[in-house]
Chains A and B, each alone.
Chain A
Amino acid sequence: MERFVELENVQKHFDTKKGRFVALQDINLTIRQGEVVSLIGHSGCGKSTVLNIIAGLLEPSDGIALCNGREIDGPGPERAVVFQNHSLLPWLSCYGNILLAVERVFGAKEGKAQLAARTDAALVLVGLSHARDKHPHEISGGMKQRVGIARALAMEPKVLLMDEPFGALDALTRANLQDEMVKIVDATGSTVVMVTHDVDEAVLLSDRIVMMTNGPAATVGEILDVQLPRPRNRLALANDADYHRYRSAVLDFLYQKHRRDAA
């Protein structure tokens, strides 16, 4: 599989009143097409910063960030982002929120009927056809996040970037959405980069888990290849020896090698 997203010696610093804060250093990462990669690490380790650099929302201070062989120059719809707190526009219905993205990406080539069909298909994909005309404040947190995912998927992005997409949800809703995400990823074969701090989520969804060291000047610590067969099933994996081996490896990294003392 071809290289798709490449980060070479990426460094990112922020200039603050207290002087320069180096958030990331020597980040080298290659993501292949169709691969699901998780970035995991303790909070404050700069994993979201990596994601934002791929999204183009942040510029690397040094080094090169490439997508599809071209330097990443600002954000764009081919790198759709699912934001941590859904970021739906409250004055648009679920349908309207998705349509805004669909119109922007496909509006130039397709007619109104096709755009509407795409929007409805995205709602079906996340199982929210019944909430089509509801506004974000009328639906639950899990549903909002699903609309956010539908909006991103409807753009048919080359890479789907997810910043702790299920972080703000309760455990049961999170598990349901993770299962749905497994299905969607299997069905669409999307390239996904996901930031998480949930070990189970990382093992369940990823082909590779990128474990980051603690900041400041965080970097890629280890990369774990998760060779569990797809389609994956949460219940079947609960008694799977390999699953537990992968899980232990991540936990070992986070809590033994790069333990973060409680502040």
Chain B
Amino acid sequence: MSAAETFSPTLAAGQPATARSARPRKRKTLLAAAPPSLQPLVRFIRWLVPPLLGLIAFVLLWSLVSQWSKGSLPGPASTWASACELFADPFYQNGPNDQGIGWNILMSLGRVGVGFGLAALVGIPLGFMIGRFNFLSRMTAPVISLLRPVSPLAWLPIGLLVFKAASPASIWVIFISSIWPMILNTAAGVRAVPQDYLNVARVLRLSEWKVFSVILLPAVLPHMLTGVRLAIGTAWLVIVAAEMLTGGVGLGFWVWDEWNNLNVEHILIAIFVVGLVGLALEQALVWLAKKASFGQGE
């Protein structure tokens, strides 16, 4: 492409793009001088290059470390080969300790979904009430401040004790770790509802239900979704650790199982899978939050 543009300076003459490049010479880069028809492509390449370079640097570093470790850490190539094999049949079932990667992902996602859903069911209404009533806010403040900094995994023994099974115990850990951001952000959102909106409600004498559905809920939604996003981030962080400890099926268990098998490629694959799923969850919620912001804060 750079060849094309050096050969066609006359073609681009008189176009707005070149009018701009009449500025001092050192500002003129190869990319800026591209003909207008190629501009979208140029923009795309400009957008793509930095992250691509970052990924390439990462893979290079990884292969170097793998070389230095004399093969005890698998390199990108062997990991890729192993991943291809693994994802060729993601949903096989050979008894409880040998299942496809797909099952493990779904199992972890399912636990996060249940724990997280329960936390939303309890946390969001509680957040609304804490935000609306100062008394309740002051009442719950000491308990929340005390329990919030506790590492989620510290709750695991309590879960095992109460539920006497691994799966509900991990769901319990997810629940307890994702409930705090939801309560706190929802409550902060309710407190941040502009007085102007509430004055509109007062002048119109809207019913309590209308105030909630037309004013409070949409006004709080962006804050609430921030809470949800933080919560799902934490939940996804925690599930792998919880499953490592409880066993059964799931990504965390799989990591531990492959460690026992000394299959380091699979552990690396698990790390990437956890990262990718976390990224996807995060992006989905960012998209949702954007949808729900109604141009506020723009």
Nearest-Cβ distance from residue B221 to partner chain A, whole angstroms: 8
Question: Please, which residue of chain A has its CB at the minimum distance from the CB of B205?
Answer: A76
Interface of B is mostly: helix
Interface digits, A38-75 against B, CB 8 Å rule (1 contact, 0 not)?
00000000000000000111000000000000000011
B205 touches A87 (CB 8 A): no
Question: Please, which residue of chain B has its CB at the minimum distance from the CB of A161?
Answer: B203
Compute how far the CA of A83 lies from the CA of B196 in the bound complex, rounded to whole angstroms. 8
Interface digits, B145-173 against A, CB 8 Å rule (1 contact, 0 not)?
00000000000000000000000000000
Question: Is A136 an interface residue when CB atoms closer than 8 A count as contact?
Answer: yes
Question: Is A209 an interface residue when CB atoms closer than 8 A count as contact?
Answer: no
A138 touches B295 (CB 8 A): yes
Q: Contacts A135-B295, A137-B295: A77 and B205 contacting too (C-beta < 8 A)?
A: yes
Nearest-Cβ distance from residue B55 to partner chain A, whole angstroms: 36
Q: Which residues of the other chain, B, contact A92 by a CB distance below 8 angstroms?
A: 214
Nearest-Cβ distance from residue B30 to partner chain A, whole angstroms: 39
Question: Is B28 an interface residue when CB atoms closer than 8 A count as contact?
Answer: no
B214 touches A100 (CB 8 A): yes
Q: Which residues of the other chain, A, contact B295 by a CB distance below 8 angstroms?
A: 90, 135-138
Interface digits, A17-28 against B, CB 8 Å rule (1 contact, 0 not)?
000000000000
Q: Which residues of the other chain, A, contact B206 by a CB distance below 8 angstroms?
A: 104
Interface positions of B from 180 to 235, Cβ below 8 Å from A: 194, 196-197, 199-200, 202-206, 210, 214-215, 218
A57 touches B202 (CB 8 A): yes
A83 touches B199 (CB 8 A): yes
Question: Is B87 an interface residue when CB atoms closer than 8 A count as contact?
Answer: no
The one of A57, A100, A101 that contacts B199, using a Cβ cutoff of 8 Å: A57
A90 touches B294 (CB 8 A): yes
Nearest-Cβ distance from residue B208 to partner chain A, whole angstroms: 13
Nearest-Cβ distance from residue A248 to partner chain B, whole angstroms: 36
Question: Please, which residue of chain B has its CB at the minimum distance from the CB of A52?
Answer: B199
Compute how far the CA of A221 lies from the CA of B149 in the bound complex, rounded to whole angstroms. 59
Compute how far the CA of A101 lies from the CA of B203 in the bound complex, rounded to whole angstroms. 9
Compute how far the CA of A55 lies from the CA of B205 in the bound complex, rounded to whole angstroms. 12
Q: Which residues of the other chain, B, contact A138 by a CB distance below 8 angstroms?
A: 295
Question: Please, which residue of chain A has its CB at the minimum distance from the CB of B204?
Answer: A104
Question: Is A81 an interface residue when CB atoms closer than 8 A count as contact?
Answer: yes
Interface size bucket, A side?
20 to 34
Q: Contacts A136-B295, A138-B295: A89 and B214 contacting too (C-beta < 8 A)?
A: yes
Interface digits, A82-113 against B, CB 8 Å rule (1 contact, 0 not)?
01010101111000000011001100000000
B203 touches A77 (CB 8 A): yes
Q: Contacts A83-B196, A89-B197: A104 and B205 contacting too (C-beta < 8 A)?
A: yes
Nearest-Cβ distance from residue B173 to partner chain A, whole angstroms: 36
Compute how far the CA of A81 lies from the CA of B198 in the bound complex, rounded to whole angstroms. 13
Q: Which residues of the other chain, B, contact A136 by a CB distance below 8 angstroms?
A: 295
Q: Contacts A90-B295, A135-B295, A136-B295: A79 and B203 contacting too (C-beta < 8 A)?
A: yes
Question: Is A194 an interface residue when CB atoms closer than 8 A count as contact?
Answer: no
A91 touches B218 (CB 8 A): yes
Nearest-Cβ distance from residue B201 to partner chain A, whole angstroms: 9
Interface positions of B from 109 to 123, Cβ below 8 Å from A: none
Question: Is B85 an interface residue when CB atoms closer than 8 A count as contact?
Answer: no
Q: Which residues of the other chain, A, contact B197 by a CB distance below 8 angstroms?
A: 87, 89
Question: Please, which residue of chain A has its CB at the minimum distance from the CB of B194?
Answer: A87
Question: Is A177 an interface residue when CB atoms closer than 8 A count as contact?
Answer: no
Question: Is B78 an interface residue when CB atoms closer than 8 A count as contact?
Answer: no
Question: Please, which residue of chain B has its CB at the minimum distance from the CB of A92?
Answer: B214
Compute how far the CA of A85 lies from the CA of B199 in the bound complex, rounded to whole angstroms. 12
Compute how far the CA of A136 lies from the CA of B196 in the bound complex, rounded to whole angstroms. 15
Q: Contacts A77-B205, A100-B214, A104-B206: A135 and B294 contacting too (C-beta < 8 A)?
A: yes
Question: Is A36 an interface residue when CB atoms closer than 8 A count as contact?
Answer: no
Which of A77, A90, A105 has the most chain B CB atoms closer than 10 A to its own CB? A90
Question: Is A115 an interface residue when CB atoms closer than 8 A count as contact?
Answer: no
Question: Is A192 an interface residue when CB atoms closer than 8 A count as contact?
Answer: no
Compute how far the CA of A57 lies from the CA of B196 in the bound complex, rounded to whole angstroms. 11
The one of B200, B202, B205, B298 that contacts A89, using a Cβ cutoff of 8 Å: B200
Question: Please, which residue of chain A has its CB at the minimum distance from the CB of B292?
Answer: A91
Compute how far the CA of A75 lies from the CA of B295 in the bound complex, rounded to whole angstroms. 29
Q: Which residues of the other chain, B, contact A77 by a CB distance below 8 angstroms?
A: 203-205
Top 3 closest A-B pairs, CB basis? A137-B295, A87-B196, A91-B294
Mind listing 5 A-B residue pairs with CB under 8 Å?
A76-B203, A83-B196, A89-B200, A137-B295, A137-B296
Residue ranges of A at the interface with B (Cβ–Cβ < 8 Å): 55-57, 74-77, 79-81, 83, 85, 87, 89-92, 100-101, 104-105, 135-138, 155
Residue ranges of B at the interface with A (Cβ–Cβ < 8 Å): 194, 196-197, 199-200, 202-206, 210, 214-215, 218, 294-296, 298
A92-B214, A137-B295 known; 20 new pairs, CB 8 Å cut-off, are: A57-B199, A77-B205, A80-B203, A85-B196, A87-B194, A87-B196, A87-B200, A89-B214, A90-B295, A90-B296, A100-B204, A101-B204, A104-B206, A104-B210, A105-B204, A135-B294, A135-B295, A137-B296, A137-B298, A138-B295
